[in-house]
């Protein structure tokens, strides 16, 4: 019963945003609010699992959201080659989480049934719900399915000893978080179940939402799954870079050794009063 190492890899950022882009209810709606883009690595001595894939230069150009590092290049300092990845947990099929599926051609995908049904069903007739998806990425997931390389889950499930998947929903119908046993305790890779620490710790919903109750309930679930609030890892918060040490180059953060701040209250001190 060994612990896992966990890394956050930043591959892009978007700084021309305000708090209105991050929170439905906020008194400081016009204040700047930056966003980081991450993928995550879970590994032990024998196995490496990727959580999400990021997106590539083509998608970056189409959406006008440049990437700083191709996800494949971003992984190289960890000694990880894209073709060697055999398992990718897809938290949901939005472009910034599944836009690099084709970059990892040998991977089996781990995906919630509800997410595939959502991304290929009648909800996609609505422009607003379809906007975070890109058809080519969804088609890549379908191609992988027809190649026998998708494993579906209907709710919570154990993937490996010390790694479990938890269907949250809210932001997307089949959004899942990943719970990992580490030396620091149970870490929860929230992905977009909490874009920012503030979402989960102050119960502040993100504006892109399919089911608001599921999103709010999900904040409680994240807190229940993590050994400590500092071990909830939000999907896009630049504060993650203040809370965890770098591992080699500055775009790689090591999460399993725990929060480096003397008190998690230091993170909350960054929240507006």
Cα–Cα distance between 196 and 9 in angstroms, integer? 16
Instruction: Enter the pTM of the model.
Output: 0.96
**What is the structure's pLDDT at 245?**
95
15: CB partners within 8 A, 6+ apart: 32, 34, 35
pLDDT by position in tens, the chain (length 273): 689 999 999 999 999 999 999 999 888 899 999 999 999 999 998 999 999 999 999 999 999 999 999 999 999 999 999 999 999 999 999 999 999 999 999 999 999 999 999 999 999 999 999 999 999 999 999 999 999 999 999 999 999 999 999 999 999 999 999 999 999 999 999 999 999 999 999 999 999 999 999 999 999 999 999 999 999 999 999 999 999 999 999 999 999 999 987 656 777 777 776
154, 146 in Cβ contact below 8 A?
Answer: no
188, 232 in Cβ contact below 8 A?
Answer: yes
**What is the structure's pLDDT at 262?**
61
Q: HSE-up of 202 (CA within 13 Å, CB side)?
A: 19
**What is the structure's pLDDT at 263?**
59
Beta bridge partners of 40: 8, 51
């Amino acid at each position: 019963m060994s612990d896992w190492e966990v890394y956050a890899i930043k591959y892009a950022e978007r700084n021309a945003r305000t708090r209105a882009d991050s929170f439905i209810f906020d008194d400081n709606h016009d204040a700047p609010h930056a966003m980081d883009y991450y993928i995550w690595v879970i590994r032990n001595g024998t196995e490496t699992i990727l959580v999400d894939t990021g997106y590539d230069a083509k998608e970056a150009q189409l959406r006008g959201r440049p990437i700083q590092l191709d996800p494949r290049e971003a992984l190289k300092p960890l000694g990880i080659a894209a073709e060697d990845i055999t398992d990718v947990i897809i938290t949901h099929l939005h472009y910034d989480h599944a836009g690099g599926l084709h970059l990892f051609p040998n991977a089996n995908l781990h995906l919630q049934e509800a997410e595939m049904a959502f991304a290929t069903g009648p909800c996609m007739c609505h422009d607003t719900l379809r906007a975070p998806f890109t058809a080519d990425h969804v088609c890549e997931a379908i191609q992988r399915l027809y190649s026998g390389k998708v494993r579906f889950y209907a709710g919570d499930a154990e993937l490996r000893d010390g790694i479990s998947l938890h269907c949250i929903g809210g932001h997307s119908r089949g959004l899942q978080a990943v719970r990992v046993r580490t030396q620091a305790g149970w870490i929860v890779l929230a992905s977009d179940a909490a874009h920012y620490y503030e979402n989960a710790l102050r119960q502040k919903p993100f504006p892109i939402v399919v089911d608001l109750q599921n999103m709010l309930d999900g904040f409680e679930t994240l807190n229940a799954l993590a050994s400590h609030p500092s071990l909830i890892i939000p999907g896009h918060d630049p504060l993650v870079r203040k809370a965890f040490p770098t591992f080699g180059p500055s775009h790689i953060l090591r999460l399993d050794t725990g929060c480096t701040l003397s008190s998690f209250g230091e993170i909350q001190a960054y929240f507006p009063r």
